[in-house]
Amino acid sequence: MSTRRTLADESVSSITTSTAAAGNNPTHTTVDPKLLKRAAFASFIGNFVEWFDYASNGYLATIIAVVFFPKTDTTTGLLAAYGVFAISFIVRPVGGIVWGHFGDKIGRRTSLSLSSLIMSCSTFLIALLPTYAQVGMLAPVLLLLVRVVQGFSASGEYAGASAFLAEYAPSNRRGFYTSIVPASTAAGLLFGSLLIAALHALLSSEQLHAFGWRLPFLLAAPFGLIGRYIRLKLEDTPRFKALEHDQHVARAPIAELLGKHRMKMVIAFGVTCLNAVAFYLVLSYMPTYLSTELGMDETASFIAATISLTAYIALIFVMGTLSDRIGRKSMLIGASILFAVLTVPLFKGLAGAGFMMIVVIQIAFGALLTMNDGTLPCFLAEIFPTRVRYSGFAFCFNAANAIFGGTAPLVATWLIGVTGSKLAPAWYLVGAAGVALLAMLGSRETSRAPLADE
């Protein structure tokens, strides 16, 4: 028997022993520290690759609009670029069902490894796509097809990595460990922001439009291979292996979800709405908003995003730890209320603000988002039992992101055009906060309960 298998089996045994010793309410689960570190790093690197791609796409939106949709005015071209971005999210709920099915039926590790491989390959293909000048309308069609494949593959990543870590982590530190997933998301965005800022500084506008926009997507191949290698070296979670050993794996996870856990799905969808809108408006759309709507220099907007993302990553772990101490429900309700109250004033503060004030406002937005983002993955993992955890998380999270997340930049740009108000995105975010607040008021606290298996 291999050493890795022995360690995994010991971890399964330790979870069973700890649970039995503590009765129905264990306060701790014991997992080999080496396995926990491997699981944390594997979850980090896979999610990092995915969100580096989305950062590249978001921060290069104005250039992609010209390269693939040149025969339009600036606003229409930007809408078209964001439209392609949004359409790729339509397949996410379907992908959530598919990857969740495999993750709950044959294992988290296998599902995560395959989804990340497809994601990396499709991202790499963007770098090879012909432009509108070369093949005409075929260019945006090919871009759309690749983005759809990306959306399908990415739908298993965030949910799977969160469930993976929640099932590995000690019971009293699940919030901290699952916060690694949104931290890796922000790290991917940060690296993307740094790279795009460097490209803007080192290349002329003509060079960026000619070939510079392709460079970030070329990195997807080596990043993806590294992530896949790390994940294939890791055993599946002890909790899933224990369920598999006892032959309690769900045969049809989505059917079980719809039959037994509909209210949990409603709550999970509702609270994710705020995360979806806030994440894409605050971390992805904001640099474009600052440059196109407020006239800020593009390089300065990227630098501001980089500084705020650095603070965001540090705050994520603080919020994850706080959620272990004061509870997921309190954190998520607090985030919803603060977004509802502070979003419009903060957006108003951006108009006419100097560079330092813009950075301060972005850090403030990031702090609000980390209250939600640092807590949400653990809450969504805890609300569903092990039999359907991957499916429940993936479907609800991706459905909310398909409807409200991927469309957020598109809706924000459209709302500004229709209303003529640069505050329109702020009111949209306030509405999402209201939906999340209602959802959380109907939920129960999950941080002090053990993970349920059925």
Sorted by sequence, the CB contacts under 8 Å of residue 401 that are 6+ apart come out as: 89, 92, 272, 276
Predicted pLDDT of residue 72: 63
Say how far apart CA 307 and CA 176 lie, in whole Å. 23
Contacts of 249 (CB under 8 A, 6+ apart): 104, 105, 243, 387
Buried b (16+ CB within 10 A) or exposed e, 65-95: bbbbbeeeeeeebbbbbbbbbbbbbebbbbb
Query: 237 in helix, strand or coil?
Result: coil
Q: 72 lies in a domain?
A: yes
What was the pLDDT predicted at 177? Answer: 94
**Residue 308 domain boundaries:** 34-248+259-441
Position 276 scores a pLDDT of 92
Tell me the mean pLDDT per 10 residues along the chain, length 454: 40 42 43 78 82 76 80 66 72 92 90 84 89 88 86 87 91 93 88 83 89 88 76 80 83 91 96 92 79 79 82 93 96 96 92 88 93 95 94 95 83 86 90 96 89 80
Give the tokens for residue 171.
Answer: 């019971």
- In 3D space, the residue among 106, 236, 103, 89 whose CA is nearest the CA of residue 159 turns out to be 103
pLDDT of the residue at 272: 96
CA–CA gap between residue 277 and residue 280 (Å, rounded)? 6
Is residue 390, in this structure, part of any structural domain at all?
yes
Q: Which two tokens stand for residue 389?
A: 């955890």
Contact (CB, 8 A) for 328 and 436 = no
Q: Is residue 381 part of a domain?
A: yes
**Which residue, chain included where needed, has tokens 């005015």?**
73
Structure tokens, 282: 């605050």
Provide the pLDDT for residue 25: 39
- Whether 128 is in a domain gets the answer yes
Number of structural domains (the chain) is: 1
No. of H helices and E strands in the chain?
Answer: 25, 0
Name the residue among 8, 453, 452, 1 with its Cα closest to residue 235: 8
Q: Cα(140)–Cα(382) distance, rounded to whole angstroms?
A: 40
What's the longest Cα–Cα distance across the chain? 69
Q: Is residue 370 part of a domain?
A: yes
CATH assignment of the domain containing 278? 1.20.1250.20
Give the pTM.
Answer: 0.82
pLDDT for the residue numbered 82: 67
Q: Is the dihedral of CA 52, 58, 63, 69 positive or negative?
A: positive
Do 423 and 344 contact (CB within 8 A), yes or no?
yes
Q: How far apart are CA 402 and CA 380, in angstroms?
A: 17
CB of 306 closer than 8 Å to CB of 193: yes
State phi, psi for 46 to the nearest 5 degrees.
-65, -45
Is 299 contained in some domain? yes
Secondary structure (3-state) at 116: helix
Q: Yes or no: say if 221 and 124 are a contact pair by the CB < 8 Å rule.
A: yes
Return the closest-CA partner of residue 150 out of 104, 117, 180, 181.
117
Spatial separation of the C-alpha atoms in residues 401 and 276, rounded to whole Å: 5
Of 15, 95, 53, residue with least CA distance to 386? 15
User: Tokens at residue 392, please?
Assistant: 């429940």
Q: Is residue 449 part of a domain?
A: no
In a domain, 254, yes or no: no
Distance CA 331, CA 341 (A): 16
pLDDT at position 12 is 43
